[in-house]
Amino acid sequence: MTLRRQKRIADIVQRELSDIVHRRVKDPRLDGVTITGARVSPDYQYADVYFYRLGGDPEQLQEAQQGLESANGFIRRELGSRLTIRHTPALRFHLDESIDYGDHIETLFAQLRQEREDQGEPARDDGLDADGTESSTMDRAGA
């Protein structure tokens, strides 16, 4: 029960923070910032909030983090007025690096596909079409 409630609170925190950052905070450093996730501690005292800013420039990401930190009190107060729990968790902002990691993995796959095409290797039946999308089961079965 506790884990389910913790997850539910984290989802609400993420949704409300996203709304607060987009509609209520007027800091230009937060333009394009997306709240990608939130985790709440088991005692509900802390919330780790993950964010990303489109463009991915390290300088802009640093500015976005500074903007979030400077607006932390306002954001927490707004969040507290929207939550129905006794204590509003303290917010800790973290850069979500999974988007950059996913882009890196996709680039590696594209390089591997290109190398295979350059070497003239026959296509393997790995369940992917030439464009990298998953082929249907009927195509793989030869029907």
Amino acid in the structure at residue 128:
L
96, 112, 133 — which closes off a domain?
Answer: 96
Residues 42, 91: one domain?
yes
Tokens of 106: 């996709």
Residues 40, 105: one domain?
no
Residues 109, 68: one domain?
no
Q: Dihedral of CA 52/56/62/63: which sign? A: negative
Domain that holds residue 110: 101-141
Distance CA 82, CA 134 (A): 42
Task: Count how many domains the chain has.
Answer: 2
Q: What is the pTM of this model?
A: 0.73
Determine the 3-state secondary structure of 81 from DSSP: helix
Q: What is the pLDDT along the chain (143 residues), one digit of tens a residue?
A: 589 999 999 999 999 999 999 999 999 999 999 999 999 999 999 999 999 988 778 899 999 999 999 999 999 999 999 998 889 999 999 998 887 788 889 999 999 998 888 887 755 555 555 555 665 544 444 44
Residues 51, 89: one domain?
yes
